[in-house]
Amino acid sequence: MRKQERKTMQARGRRVARVRAKVKGTEQRPRLTVARSLRHISAQLIDDAAGKTLVSASDRDVKAAKGAKPAEVAREVGKEIAKRAIEKNIQYAVFDRRDKKYHGRVKAVADGAREGGLIF
């Protein structure tokens, strides 16, 4: 691993730790985590106390329109995770953006989850 890559990974780890120090998930108020890659986006509701994933949703689960923009697909993922959470009687959550900025697709997932009925 090159020196620059190592610095980048260390900086990413610091950003994740900074956010996670403030955000803890419980059974009544799980942590909504967003995982984003260049092609896909997924979200999970995690109970940190038990170390379990309660609900998950991905863009592979969502029926998006052909040629839909990535932010539109992310909003649908947010709505889907909210629907699945409400089916399991989960109404409240805390949002964990990890090392990403609250912008673009990450924000679209949060907005979709709010539209679906989750309360942050």
Domain of residue 95, CATH code: 3.30.420.100
| Total domain count, the chain | 1
pLDDT at 70: 95
- Report residue 63's pLDDT band, with 50, 70 and 90 as the boundaries: confident
pLDDT at 41: 96
Tokens of 45: 């509701």
Average pLDDT of the segment spanning 48-75: 92
Write out the residue range of the structural domain in which residue 108 sits: 3-116
Residues 77-116: pLDDT tens digits?
999 999 999 999 999 999 999 999 999 999 999 999 999 9
DSSP assignment of 84-109 equals: HHHHTT--B-EEE-TTS-SSTHHHHH
Q: Which helix (H) or strand (E) holds 14?
A: helix 3-20
In angstroms, what CA-CA distances link 67 with 60, 63, 73, 120? Answer: 14, 12, 10, 30
pLDDT at 119: 96
Query: Which has the higher per-residue pLDDT, 1 or 49?
Result: 49
